[in-house]
């Protein structure tokens, strides 16, 4: 069954993915556009690397609701990390630092979460219960994330089918890691506590390309509310991937939807190739039962090695150990992902679990690159009774870390004989994934005793339903039917101005293209000038459209009117009266005088400069084309005269 070999990314077909049983689901994280953080009154969305103080903490595993220590929890505790939080006094208060109990959940955030739940066709819960989800990596100073389910069992249309939505949760965002070196991990806390939703799909995507498309679809659906944050890190996704015989693996924090195809391809490939490796071991007679290893301290042998990483460690009085994997000859270079081999799996574990963070942190006898001398290899092999069938892994560092590392190397190798270990993996820049931590189970969830449940009243649901945008996919269909200019279809469909656009076309009788120019192209231009579309006042825009319709404002005056409305609003009563062609002469005369006074190198520019000045005076009061014609006629006359 594992005969199939992965082809290069570009050559994989949907049939190939069906062969390996590719399944993937998404957990899309989206920050919400609120004034405050979720459980305290700190301002939301203010990011800075500047910090004013540092706080040091450690995380200890605790008991779950069902009375057991979670496996991951103990694993993390093994790593004994000193966690340092950098605190900025403007963005972080004593709540985020776990020195003050939570305040009530931000109402605005819960509203948006419920609204997006309804867009995703989820069944809303009647009472929101806040839970604590344990994170012992220190990414949240309390050691847990406050999180709550808003709705379950939903779905969105995709191609000719429906992608199921398992649930939508509302939660506080975590810290951003600055560095993780040895036993010290440093976090920036500016993002901590930001309101976030997590929308979880079923494992319904069948190819890496579908993962990206569904990711985009959900992102855009959420954007239609106009109440979600944008920009780097505001939308992130975890991607779950499995293949037949594999395990659901979570790839954490994919920053760009566009990276999903390659990442999911590589993860599927990794699982598949690890299963093929298991077959190879079986062929060699190595199973979970027959798996054997040996290990020894090899500090003495390597005391005078010339291999720099170990030599440096020896100078600092550190130790080295060797692990023999019986019968594993050449298997540490077994390909797992693109440009990645099995030894990386071991190196990753040693890095994370044993805190040996300086790379390389292991070497092995399957490697072609030059490390130890032949004599040193020979001496270690003799010490451990190696045959040519075996493979050696060498690790070095502080005594305790090396002890942990030796255990971890054996654990990881043994796991191959069983299957794919449950873990979360990080998305790497080259499209491969790296070990992050063991996947925690539902045992890490327990109720938050600091906050009471929140009742979701029918009144609240009604209020939110009334403000809900029409569905993104319905808008797309409609705009295509209306022949909206193709460059504007998607943008308009996710724009907060979409309802106004619909109104302009259906109620006010605007030409579709004119409406698209005024409500898509102009706002886009303004956004490039630094005026986000979200800050435009819809009522002002509506009044501007009405003024155009009532002929109080020309179409080419709209952009100017919108720009002006950002700071001063818009009232049609404040508009100067419309002008006729015959009114222009005095404006042209005046403008020409002003232009003449300036020192010009090239007299040919005078008509154009005059036109600019006249336009500044009369914009919106008479079509620009008329002005241009009049100015042209004026100068033509002048030349003739």
Partner 1 sequence: MSEKDTYKGYKGDALAAMKKFGIRVWSDAVLTTDEDSFEGIILPRSETADGDHIVIKMATGYNVGLRVDRVLDAKEIGYKEAHYKIPEKAFPYDPKKQRIVLFGTGGTIASRLDYRTGAVIPAFTPGELYGSVPELADLCNLETEKLFGVFSENMGPEEYMKLADRIGEEIRKGVRGIVVGHGTDTMHHTAAALSFMVQNSPVPIVMVGSQRSSDRPSSDAALNLIHSVKTAVDCDIAEVMVCMFGPTSDEYGLLHRGTRVRKMHSSYRSTFRTIGDIPLAMVNREGFTYLRDDYSKRRNDRDVQVSTVFDDRIGILYYYPNMKPDMMDMMVDNGYKGIIIAGTGLGHVNKPLYPALQRAKDAGVAVYMTVQTLWGYVQMYVYETGREMMDLGVIPLENMLPEAAYIKLGWALGRTDDLAEVRDIMLTPINGETTPREPYNGYLIFQGGIPEVDEFVGTIRR
Residue 73 interacting with partner 1 (CB under 8 A): yes
- Mapped onto helix, strand or coil, the DSSP state of residue 382 is helix
Stretch that binds partner 1, among 22-30, 446-454, 486-494, 568-576 (CB under 8 A): 446-454
What is the Cα–Cα distance from 625 to 109, expressed in whole angstroms? 48
Stretch that binds partner 1, among 179-187, 344-352, 441-449, 632-640 (CB under 8 A): 441-449
Stretch that binds partner 1, among 48-56, 520-528, 543-551, 553-561 (CB under 8 A): 48-56
Residue 126 interacting with partner 1 (CB under 8 A): yes
Residue 479 interacting with partner 1 (CB under 8 A): no
Residue 462 interacting with partner 1 (CB under 8 A): no
Q: In whole angstroms, how close is the CB of 53 to partner 1 at the nearest point?
A: 5
Residue 203 interacting with partner 1 (CB under 8 A): no
What is the Cα–Cα distance from 360 to 160, expressed in whole angstroms? 49
Q: In whole angstroms, how close is the CB of 92 to partner 1 at the nearest point?
A: 13
Residue 69 interacting with partner 1 (CB under 8 A): yes
Q: 442-452: buried (b, 16+ CB within 10 Å) or exposed (e) per residue?
A: ebbbbebeebe
Residue 66 interacting with partner 1 (CB under 8 A): yes
Nearer to partner 1 among residue 134 and residue 299 (C-beta): 134
Residue 410 interacting with partner 1 (CB under 8 A): no
Residues in the interface with partner 1 (CB under 8 A) total 61
User: Are residues 171 and 197 in contact, defined by beta-carbon separation less than 8 angstroms?
Assistant: yes
Nearer to partner 1 among residue 145 and residue 269 (C-beta): 145
Enter the tokens of residue 252: 């954490």
- Interacting residue with partner 1 among 13, 48, 80, 94 (CB under 8 A): 94
Tokens 């005026």 label which residue?
A: 531
Residue 28 interacting with partner 1 (CB under 8 A): no
Q: Which residues, in sequence order, are CB contacts of 563 under 8 Å at separation 6+?
A: 526, 529, 531
- Interacting residue with partner 1 among 7, 35, 41, 99 (CB under 8 A): 99
Selection from 206, 160, 203 nearest residue 14 by Cα = 206
Phi/psi of residue 170, nearest 5 degrees: -110, 135
- Interacting residue with partner 1 among 8, 67, 231, 317 (CB under 8 A): 67
Selection from 490, 513, 487, 515 nearest residue 500 by Cα = 515
Selection from 604, 608, 603, 610 nearest residue 587 by Cα = 610
Residue 98 interacting with partner 1 (CB under 8 A): yes
Nearer to partner 1 among residue 97 and residue 628 (C-beta): 97
Q: What's the farthest any 2 CA atoms get from each other in the chain?
A: 109
Pairing of strands 184-188, 82-87: parallel
Other C-beta atoms closer than 10 Å to the C-beta of 382 total 10
Residue 574 interacting with partner 1 (CB under 8 A): no
Stretch that binds partner 1, among 135-143, 211-219, 286-294, 537-545 (CB under 8 A): 135-143
- Interacting residue with partner 1 among 452, 532, 569, 576 (CB under 8 A): 452
DSSP per position, 24-59: EEEEEEEEB--SB-SSS-SBSS---S--SEEEEE--
Residue 43 interacting with partner 1 (CB under 8 A): no
Residue 54 interacting with partner 1 (CB under 8 A): yes
What is the distance, to the nearest Å, from the Cα of residue 217 to the centroid of all Cα atoms in its chain?
Answer: 14
Q: Tell me how far apart the terminal alpha carbons of the chain are, to the nearest angstrom.
A: 93
What is the Cα–Cα distance from 347 to 350, expressed in whole angstroms? 5
Residue 404 interacting with partner 1 (CB under 8 A): no
What is the Cα–Cα distance from 52 to 100, expressed in whole angstroms? 19
Nearer to partner 1 among residue 13 and residue 100 (C-beta): 100
Stretch that binds partner 1, among 53-61, 308-316, 421-429, 499-507 (CB under 8 A): 53-61
**List of residues contacting partner 1 (CB under 8 A):** 51-63, 65-69, 73, 89, 94, 97-101, 123, 125-129, 131-136, 141-144, 147-149, 152-153, 166-167, 169, 441-447, 449, 452-453, 455
């Amino acid at each position: 069954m594992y005969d199939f070999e992965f082809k290069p990314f570009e050559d994989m077909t949907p049939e190939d993915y069906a062969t390996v049983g590719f399944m993937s689901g998404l957990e899309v994280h989206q920050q919400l556009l609120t004034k405050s953080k979720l459980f305290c009154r700190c301002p939301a969305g203010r990011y800075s690397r500047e910090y004013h103080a540092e706080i040091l903490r450690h995380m200890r595993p605790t008991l779950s609701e069902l009375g057991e220590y979670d496996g991951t929890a103990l694993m993390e505790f093994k790593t004994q990390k000193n966690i340092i939080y950098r605190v900025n006094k403007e963005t972080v208060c004593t709540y985020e630092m776990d020195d003050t109990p939570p305040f009530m959940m931000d109402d605005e955030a819960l509203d948006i979460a419920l609204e997006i739940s309804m867009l995703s066709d989820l069944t809303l819960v009647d009472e929101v219960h806040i839970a604590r989800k344990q994170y012992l990596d220190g990414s949240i100073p309390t050691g847990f994330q406050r999180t709550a389910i808003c709705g379950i069992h939903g779905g969105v249309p995709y191609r000719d089918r429906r992608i199921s939505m398992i649930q939508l949760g509302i939660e506080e965002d975590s810290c951003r890691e600055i560095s993780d070196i040895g036993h010290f991990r440093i976090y920036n806390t500016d993002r901590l506590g930001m309101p976030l939703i997590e929308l979880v799909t079923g494992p319904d995507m069948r190819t890496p390309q579908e993962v990206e498309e569904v990711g985009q679809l959900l992102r855009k659906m959420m954007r239609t509310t106009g109440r979600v944050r944008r920009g780097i890190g505001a939308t992130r996704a975890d991607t779950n991937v499995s293949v037949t015989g594999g395990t659901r693996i979570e790839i954490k924090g994919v920053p760009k939807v566009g990276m999903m195809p390659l990442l999911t391809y590589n993860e599927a490939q990794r699982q598949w190739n690890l299963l093929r490796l298991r077959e190879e071991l079986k062929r060699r007679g190595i199973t979970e039962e027959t798996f054997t290893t040996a290990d020894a301290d090899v500090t003495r042998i390597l005391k005078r090695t010339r291999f720099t990483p170990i030599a440096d460690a020896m100078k600092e009085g550190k130790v080295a150990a060797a692990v023999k994997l019986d019968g594993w000859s050449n298997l540490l270079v077994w390909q797992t992902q693109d440009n990645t081999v099995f030894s990386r799996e071991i190196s990753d574990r040693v890095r994370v679990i044993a805190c040996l963070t300086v790379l390389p942190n292991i070497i092995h006898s399957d490697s072609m690159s030059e490390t130890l001398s032949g004599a040193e290899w020979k001496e270690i092999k003799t010490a451990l009774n190696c045959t040519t069938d075996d493979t050696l892994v060498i690790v070095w560092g502080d005594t305790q870390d090396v002890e942990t590392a030796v255990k971890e190397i054996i654990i990881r190798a043994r796991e191959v004989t069983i299957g794919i270990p449950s873990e979360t993996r990080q998305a790497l820049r080259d499209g491969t994934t790296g070990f992050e931590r063991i996947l925690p189970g539902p045992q890490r969830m327990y109720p938050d005793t600091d906050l009471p449940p929140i009742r979701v009243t029918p009144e609240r649901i009604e209020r939110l339903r009334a403000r809900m945008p029409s569905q993104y996919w319905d808008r797309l269909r409609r705009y295509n039917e209306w022949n909206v200019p193709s460059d504007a279809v998607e943008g308009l469909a996710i724009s907060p101005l979409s309802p106004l656009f619909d109104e302009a076309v259906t109620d006010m009788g605007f030409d579709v293209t004119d409406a698209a120019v005024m409500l898509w192209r102009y706002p886009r231009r303004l956004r490039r000038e630094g005026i986000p579309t979200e800050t435009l006042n819809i009522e002002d825009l509506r009044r501007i459209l009405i003024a155009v319709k009532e002929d109080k404002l020309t179409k080419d005056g709209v952009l100017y009117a919108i720009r002006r409305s950002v700071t001063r609003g818009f009232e049609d009563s404040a508009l100067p009266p419309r002008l006729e062609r015959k009114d222009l002469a005095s404006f042209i005369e005046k403008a020409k005088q002003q232009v003449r006074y300036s020192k010009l190198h090239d007299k040919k520019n005078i008509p154009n400069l005059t036109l600019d000045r006249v336009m500044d005076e009369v914009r919106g009061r008479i079509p620009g084309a008329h002005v241009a014609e009049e100015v042209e006629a004026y100068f033509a006359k002048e030349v003739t005269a």
